[in-house]
Chains A and B, each alone.
Chain A
Amino acid sequence: MRSRIWRYVRLYGHFLAFSFSKGFEFRFDFYMRIIMDLCYYAVAIAFYRVLFLHTPNLGGWNEHQAMVFVSAYLIVDAINMTVFTNNLWFMPQLINRGDLDYYLTRPVSSLFFVSLRDFAANSFVNLLCALGIFAWAVARLGEPVSFARTALFFGLVGCGAFIFFTINAMANLLVFWTHAPNGFGELVWTLGKFGERPDGIYRGFARKVLLLVLPFGVISSFPARILIDGFEWRIFLHVVGITALFFGLLVGVWRFGLRSYSSASS
């Protein structure tokens, strides 16, 4: 088991090396991507600041607390952009054009390959920017936050990013059956909007759906809750449980999808 994990870590090392050597070739892209993400961050923060001109609290959070939440979803976004987004983007193409063939003949998990192969070296800097926003938001909270809590926050943010990836990946994998050109990734991307607002605003049936079925309400809100309100078993187990469940689902969908992979023949 341990040697297997090490093997996959080494494989990922190769992916990283490939991505960095490729990333440095496109300098314009490198800088533009940083500016683009800074725009995205600025827009997100400005939106919440405008809202808080008109209300003292939103879904149970005041402005400073809401900014911690905003920084959480920006970090989730940055992780996704760096680790997963490029791979998600190519997934439908790989399946539709039959380019999956070679991955399937290799004695390594093909899902691992398809999910992590392309590391976006040029988004890496944005992860640092997002962390900067987090530091700024925590400083404004006005109360000291323990190291353990911060560490737990980052652990759960990692889970959140992974949950977001699994939902998108499953949507993309529907092309195994539909053969539509870009799958449903874009749609789920749209649904991601639910996760850009604090979970506290959702009530009733919609809340249940967003916490359990399409867990966008969990991705960034729950880590922020742990950081702001302190550790709570219920919240912690919810995030970890959803992560495990969605990982299992993704593996299942992948295996099932491969059964109907028709490999656009040449």
Chain B
Amino acid sequence: MIEVEGIRKSFRLHKKAAGLKGSFVSLFHRKWEEKHALKGVSFKVSPGEIVGLVGANGAGKTTLVKILAGIVHPTEGKATVLGHTPWERKNAFRSRIALIMGQKASLWWDLPAEDCFLLLKEIYQIPEERYQSALKTLVDALGVRGQLNTQIRRLSLGERMKMELIAALLHDPQVVFLDEPTIGLDLTAQRAIRDFILRYSQEKKPAMILTSHYMEDIEKLCKRIIIIRDGEFVYDGPLAKITDRYAKFKVLTAKLDPTAAVHAATLFPKGLGEVVSSEPGELKVKVARDRVPEAASALLKSGGVLDLLIEEVDIADIIESLLREGVREGKSS
């Protein structure tokens, strides 16, 4: 459904020295700097799949989404979405995709949502019955029937985002791009939108690409993620596998009997792992995955342990460290 091969995108930016002199000099002479937003990326997305695109600001997520939605031309590379090259912007292509950007409004500010929807009905040439049933389903699913006739600018941020979702999905797109759909929303609205997207994806099975800064969005919605850093993919694969591949350790937390006068740290044999924290009543150690059974039994044998908890390192933490350090091993596979 979406096939991308070797997409590159570079921009030219001009630099200006500060102050009046710098401004004056730039009147006559300008320095340019090349910026590489995407450095040759390839991947595929199939129907029904929600792919999470994760990366720091400026990593190239939004640029990639805009290239696939046909807004921006890449400098180099090939992409096919629904059998079309996106940036040719054929109507047959555009009437089957949708783009939702949390930071940009597509609806007319001064008009009630329903007026905007009528215009979209015209734009996408949606037949009357299909329009009515799609509108009803979407409005009920998001619970905004009461706000349909309110001017967009008088709606709350969460309600506005829900209207944006309806506007984008009225024409039943087969490919949906969601760029930061929950940005700036409160937790309730975030959850409502997340639940809605999940249900929508299960029912209609479009191919979806989602970018978000909120790890919770990604964890709840995406089975597969792509981690992007400085214009390159650092990881592309199942979300679940990321723990197997990058979490070399597990964390063991032992609840201790506070009355027992054993010094917690001495319970744990040196060489098996690393003590993360040691407090009266609790001991935390990081242990290599293959030595977890050994470490657990060592702890239990030492006595004084009331309870033992074995945890994976938090996914968000792994991803964050991948974004920072850019571990490259994942790429070769």
Contact = CB atoms under 8 A, between A and B. Distances in A.
Question: Do chains A and B interact in one complex?
Answer: yes
Interface of A: 7, 10-11, 14, 17-18, 21-22, 25, 98-102, 104-108, 110, 258-263, 265-266
Nearest to A14: B119
B71 A105 contact: yes
Interface residues of B, number: 33
Given A104-B71, A105-B71, A265 B62 contact: yes
B98 interface: yes
A18 B108 contact: yes
Interface string B85-126: 000010110110111010110101011000100110011110
B11 A262 contact: yes
Interface of B: 11, 62-63, 66, 69-73, 89, 91-92, 94-95, 97-99, 101, 103-104, 106, 108, 110-111, 115, 118-119, 122-125, 179-180
- Max chain B C-beta neighbours (<10 A), residue from A18, A101, A258: A101
A266 B101 contact: yes
Given A11-B122, A18-B115, A261 B103 contact: no
B72 A105 contact: no
Contact of B104 (A10, A101, A259): A101
Contacts, number: 77
30 contacts: A10-B122, A11-B119, A11-B122, A17-B115, A18-B110, A21-B111, A22-B110, A99-B104, A101-B69, A102-B99, A102-B106, A104-B69, A105-B69, A105-B71, A105-B97, A105-B98, A107-B94, A107-B95, A107-B123, A107-B124, A108-B91, A110-B89, A258-B73, A262-B72, A263-B71, A265-B62, A265-B63, A266-B62, A266-B104, A266-B180
Given A18-B108, A265-B62, A266-B101, A106 B123 contact: yes
Given A102-B106, A104-B89, A105-B70, A7 B115 contact: no
Contacts of B108: 18
Contacts of A261: 71-73
Nearest to A99: B104
A59 to B, nearest CB: 40
Contacts of B92: 107
Contacts of B124: 106-107
Contacts of B91: 107-108
Contact of A101 (B71, B73, B122, B180): B71
Contacts of B115: 17-18
A7 B125 contact: yes
B110 A102 contact: no
- Max chain A C-beta neighbours (<10 A), residue from B73, B104, B111, B124: B104
Contact of A102 (B63, B89, B104): B104
B11 A101 contact: no
- Max chain B C-beta neighbours (<10 A), residue from A10, A99, A265: A265
A7 B111 contact: no
A260 B62 CA distance: 16
Contacts of A102: 99, 101, 104, 106
A18 B122 CA distance: 14
Contacts of A100: 71
A247 B101 CA distance: 32
B73 A7 contact: no
A105 B110 CA distance: 22
A11 B123 contact: yes
**Which 7 residue pairs are nearest across A and B when measured between Cβ atoms?**
A107-B95, A107-B94, A102-B106, A107-B91, A266-B103, A265-B62, A105-B99
Contact of B66 (A10, A259, A263): A263
Nearest to A8: B122
A264 to B, nearest CB: 10
Nearest to B173: A105
A262 B70 CA distance: 11
B168 to A, nearest CB: 9
Contacts of B98: 105
B73 A259 contact: yes
B122 A104 contact: no
A99 to B, nearest CB: 7
Given A107-B123, A263-B71, A266-B179, 11 more contacts: A10-B122, A17-B115, A98-B104, A101-B71, A101-B99, A102-B99, A105-B94, A107-B92, A108-B123, A262-B72, A263-B66
Contacts of B62: 265-266
Nearest to A13: B122
B110 A101 contact: no
A119 to B, nearest CB: 13
B66 A265 contact: yes
Contacts of A108: 91, 123
Contacts of A105: 69-71, 94, 97-99
Nearest to B93: A107
B302 to A, nearest CB: 54
B118 A14 contact: yes
